[in-house]
């Protein structure tokens, strides 16, 4: 491009349909083997390329910046989500040699006493405390205390 090709303001002319009518020329051809041939160059057996499809600009709808209203409808979206609920009756620290010596009938001593309250975990986060109960022949937990909202949300503080 030379200075003579630039408009008076010095910016290059826009490309595309706004740049003016296209200069007619020979229709591009595609060789049968799939390679591209330049117009007017004989590359042997060729077929005519399909005509170009019309190109149109896409119009997207304007999105509002207003947040979705909070409320019952937002909560309803979460009510069907499955969570892992587990009950921790105690913990123990063991050396690898002791873990490798475990056999059927071994007893692992935990850090809580029998009858002591247990922790209820939801997705590995402590959310409640309770007492172990037996319902029919299954164990269960009677919730006695819910962890404060601040303590429940503490593991998530500082996360983006």
Residue 126: give its domain's CATH number.
2.30.330.10
* pLDDT, position 156: 73
Note whether residue 24 is domain-resident.
Answer: no
pLDDT for residue 29:
57
The token duo for 55 is: 């190109």
Q: Residue 30: what pLDDT?
A: 56
56 in any annotated domain: no
Q: Which domain holds residue 112?
A: 82-156
Tell me whether residue 6 is in a domain. Answer: no
Binned average pLDDT, 10 residues per bin, the chain of 160 residues: 54 50 55 55 63 83 70 77 92 96 95 90 92 90 92 72
Residue 19: alpha-carbon gap to chain centroid: 42
Number of structural domains the chain divides into = 1
| Cβ–Cβ < 8 Å for 131, 119 | no
User: Which pLDDT does position 71 carry in this prediction?
Assistant: 65
Residue 107 lies in a domain: yes
Whether residue 133 lies inside any domain: the answer is yes
Is position 128 within any domain?
yes
DSSP string, 6-46: S-TTSPPPPPSGGG-PPPP-PPPEEETTS----TT---SSE
pTM for this model (two decimals): 0.47
């Amino acid at each position: 491009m030379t200075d003579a090709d630039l408009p008076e303001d010095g910016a290059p002319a826009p490309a595309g349909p706004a740049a003016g009518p296209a200069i007619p020329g020979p229709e591009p051809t595609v060789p049968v083997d799939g390679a591209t041939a330049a117009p007017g160059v004989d590359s042997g057996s060729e077929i005519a390329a399909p005509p170009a499809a019309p190109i149109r600009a896409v119009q997207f709808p304007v999105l509002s910046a207003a947040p979705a209203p909070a409320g019952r409808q937002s909560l309803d979206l979460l009510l069907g989500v499955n969570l892992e609920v587990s009950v921790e009756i105690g913990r123990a620290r063991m050396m690898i040699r002791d873990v490798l010596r475990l056999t059927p009938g071994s007893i692992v001593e935990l850090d809580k006493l029998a009858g002591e309250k247990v922790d209820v975990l939801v997705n590995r986060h402590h959310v409640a405390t309770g007492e172990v109960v037996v319902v029919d022949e299954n164990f269960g937990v009677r919730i006695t205390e819910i962890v404060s909202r601040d303590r429940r949300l503490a593991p998530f503080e500082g996360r983006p």
